[in-house]
Structure formats: structure tokens, C-alpha cells
């Protein structure tokens, strides 16, 4: 009996997360294209992937505020520009990654080791939020077909380019305002959570 109740609650939470993710996707696709080259990007990413001709352009205005920035091996820089709680019980973290490695970066070490997320190669699916005070780790959300609610770096990021990313996690308890964002071999980045709109 308890198992049935638990499964019903899980299905309800999953449906809310998927609906919220789709709503964010539709909202992120509102900008028009200037007629330039077409680029196939992940259907769940709110940011435009590398266009191949220099700097990235965002589909939505980006905040100039950088909550945290960490540098990894070989010249990779991760910046976090937003970490907001959303009404559906999840946290959306957004930022940029800058590739100064001297070669195309494909995010191979940023993908998850979980078998359920194995189809998300070249993504930020291995990211997590760590609540040090509550001693809890929050893994990235995924839909029912095993796709992470995160950016996939389709085609990689060319050397010298910066691209945007996002990742969604279950929300820590309301009293938790500070968490560490961790992905791959990058150092942890401490960030403050803000309330969404």
C-alpha cells in the first residue's frame, strides 16, 4: 500500500518536473533568428550552442553578475551566473563555460556515470549540488526517457569560445541558501540560491 502511494507521488513529481522543463524550453525559444546559419541544438537547452563564428549570443538577456567562477585543467573556465529556486520544487543553475584548452572541448568528463543518463554524452549531466550543512547531494533531474534537464554541448565548444549552459536539480529545503556546485574535475563552486519569479 505504501509502495503504491510512493509510486503515485513519484509520478506526480515527475510530471510536474517535465511540464516545468517544457515550459522553460518554450519560453527560452522565444527569440528570433537573424537568418544566419542553422544550428541544431538540444531540445531542452534554453541557450544557443556555438554558432561557429566567434562569440555566443544568448536567446534571453543574461545577467552580468557572476556568482562564482572556477578554473579547471588546461584552460577551461566555468562561471555561474544564476541559481534560482523555481515554484515547481527545483533549482535552475545557469552559467557559461569558456574553452581555452587549445582544442575542441566535448564535455566528456562532465557527463554522468549513472546508467540511466548514459545517452547524455557531451552534456553537463554529471553535475550536482551539495548541501554541506544538510549533508546531502542533489543529482541532476531527468525526464522519463532518461534525458537530463540540462545542456548538451552538441558538437563541442571550439577553442576560444564561450557557450551558455543550464542544469536543473531538486530544490534543497527552504532554509538552505548556500550550496556547492560540482561537475567533473572542476573545483566546487559555492553559490547562493535566490528565489525565482
Mean pLDDT, range 128-137, rounded to an integer: 93
| 11: helix, strand or coil | helix
**CB 81 within 8 Å of CB 67:** yes
Whether 130 has a pLDDT exceeding 90, the answer reads yes
More confident residue, 166 or 10: 166
More confident residue, 181 or 17: 181
Cβ neighbours for 14, distance < 8 A, ≥ 6 positions apart? 143, 144
What's the whole-model pTM score? 0.66
Per-residue cell: 104: 575542441
More confident residue, 138 or 57: 138
Domain spans of the chain, in order of start: 2-30+40-195
Mean pLDDT, range 88-109, rounded to an integer: 92
Whether 63 has a pLDDT exceeding 60, the answer reads no
More confident residue, 5 or 65: 65
Whether 71 has a pLDDT exceeding 90, the answer reads yes
**What does residue 188 show for φ and ψ, rounded to 5 degrees?**
-65, 145
pLDDT band per the 50, 70, 90 thresholds, residue 29: very low
Amino acid at each position: 500500500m505504501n509502495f503504491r502511494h510512493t509510486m503515485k507521488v513519484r509520478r506526480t513529481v515527475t510530471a510536474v518536473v517535465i511540464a516545468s522543463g517544457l515550459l522553460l524550453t518554450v519560453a527560452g525559444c522565444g527569440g528570433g533568428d537573424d537568418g544566419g546559419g542553422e544550428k541544431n541544438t538540444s531540445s531542452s537547452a534554453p541557450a544557443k550552442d556555438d554558432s561557429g563564428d566567434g562569440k555566443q549570443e544568448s536567446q534571453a538577456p543574461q545577467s552580468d553578475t557572476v556568482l562564482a567562477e572556477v578554473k579547471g585543467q588546461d584552460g577551461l573556465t566555468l562561471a555561474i551566473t544564476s541559481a534560482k529556486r523555481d515554484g515547481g520544487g527545483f533549482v535552475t543553475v545557469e552559467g557559461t563555460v569558456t574553452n581555452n584548452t587549445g582544442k575542441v572541448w566535448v564535455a566528456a568528463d562532465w557527463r554522468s556515470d549513472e546508467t540511466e543518463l548514459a545517452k547524455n554524452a557531451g552534456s553537463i549531466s554529471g553535475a550536482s549540488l551539495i548541501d554541506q550543512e544538510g549533508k546531502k547531494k542533489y543529482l541532476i533531474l531527468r525526464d522519463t526517457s532518461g534525458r537530463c534537464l540540462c545542456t548538451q554541448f552538441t558538437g563541442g565548444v571550439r577553442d576560444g569560445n564561450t557557450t551558455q549552459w543550464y542544469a536543473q536539480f531538486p530544490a534543497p529545503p527552504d532554509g538552505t541558501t548556500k550550496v556547492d556546485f560540482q561537475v567533473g574535475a572542476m573545483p566546487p563552486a559555492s553559490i547562493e540560491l535566490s528565489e525565482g519569479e
